Amino acid sequence: MELPIPSSADEYVLSGARLVNTLDGHITNHASIHIKDGYITSIVEGDNHTESGLPVIDLKGKYVLPGLIDCHVHLAAVPGRHGIAESLMLSPSTSLLHQPLLCQAMLDRGFTSVRDCAGATADLKQAIEEGVHAGPRLFIAGKALSQTGGHGDFRKRHEEMSGFCGCGSGSNSMIRIVDGVPDCLKYAREELRRGADFIKIMSGGGVISPSDRIDQVQFSDEEIKAIVTVATNARTYVTSHAYTPEAIQQAISQGVRSIEHGNLLDDETAQLMVRSGVFLTPTLSAYDTLARPKYSKLLPQYAVDKNQEVLDKGFQAIKIASDAGVTLCFGSDLLGPMHEAQTLEFVLRSRVQKPLPILQSATVNAARLIQQEKSLGHIAVGFLADMLILNSNPLEDITILAEPDHHLLATIQGGRVVSSRWSRLQVKQHRLTQIE
């Protein structure tokens, strides 16, 4: 699938670049990159430019790497004058009006693509593609699917079904409650009809949901299989929220392609993931941030306790997965006021991983997960010109990506400068695509 590019992407050459290869960690010095119509058309070593007459921007030895990809965000859970749980229950219009600012902030941090795992709509995706708003490329799940009483059911125990959900007929802006094979089939199809790029399910217990435990298995085999069948028929995939080996193994046995979180992963399950080619997207930053006093005081005690349970094992799970050879992707999973911690994941991962695999999780691995490995996640001829300009080498210290104000000079998306802290590169304003 060729990704759309807003109009008026310029043609120019970036010279004097130190080009970071995310496949093997090799750095090419004095590279020149020719960009045209949003794509990379040539890369040559040295400062000789065969494209006469084109504007040349001398990067003066700055580092260039692909735009980052966050594989687990929730754009609908926007920051504002509300708490974490409240951010999940905002009206669609309230949330949507706040999302452009959140999108720009992600570009400012270097994320040129994001995979939204519940909440973002095709309306926002289209607005970004058409240049109405600046924002990362969106790959969306629509509304996540949860069982009654599962991780997506945020009703308090005294609340009745009416007015919120039931057999898929109701939901909040991020979750749809479905029970039974017929409704799993129907509402998986409905999310795809509404523009979802993939399907997200909740097949295990969660932290913030009030009526389940972390060790619960949610959805039956038949329900998961029905959802996977719908996605497979539509030539896409299902990803599952799951923490425990039992929940992960059940999801894999029914054809789920990727796992979100996986904090309680064990060796046996990691080996199964490798044999099955299943991706894992850990989200340490969510649990670490929730555990800080600034945010934990906003949570009910049950959520504080469950968060601690998965936080303690999260680092061990990444080590188990890495040692086994599981393909890891980058995710943040932040809600409401927590979005500012998006790049914290780089610091947390550095406790158990070396810089190159961490960088790969946010570039080449992530591109494979979102099925864009031929156009994103790597700087090569024929790829989209999604690039970051850095003043330091992330392979020497990956934590520089957690300090964009100090190290990220510019973000380029589809050949257009969409964020800049450097006078040599000016932000190129979007222009609405015109009907010809």
DSSP-derived letter for residue 384 is B
* Tens digit of each residue's pLDDT (9 = 90 or more) over 91-139: 788 888 889 999 999 999 999 999 999 999 999 999 999 999 999 999 9
Count of alpha carbons within 13 angstroms of residue 205, beta-carbon side:
19
Whether the CA torsion 239, 202, 114, 327 is positive or negative: it is negative
CA–CA distance, 84 with 432 (Å, rounded to integer): 34
162 pLDDT band, cuts 50/70/90, is: very low
Q: What is the pLDDT of residues 16-40, one digit of tens each?
A: 999 999 999 999 999 999 999 999 9
Mean pLDDT for 322-329 is: 98
**For the segment 197-237, what is each residue's pLDDT rounded down to a tens digit?**
999 999 999 898 888 889 999 999 999 999 999 999 999 99
| CB 84, CB 297: distance < 8 Å | no
Domains, the chain, ranges and CATH? Answer: 12-67+377-420 (2.30.40.10), 68-369 (3.20.20.140)
Q: What are the beta bridge partners of residue 389?
A: 64, 410
Q: 127 vs 90, 91, 299, CA distance in Å?
A: 20, 19, 34
Does the pTM of the predicted model rise above 0.75?
Answer: yes
Confidence of residue 300 (pLDDT cuts 50, 70, 90): confident
Backbone phi and psi for residue 385, each to the nearest 5 degrees, phi listed first: -85, 65
Please name the residues in contact with 321: beta carbons below 8 A apart, sequence gap of 6 or more. Answer: 262, 265, 270, 273, 280, 282, 328
Strand pairing category for 39-45 and 416-420:
unpaired
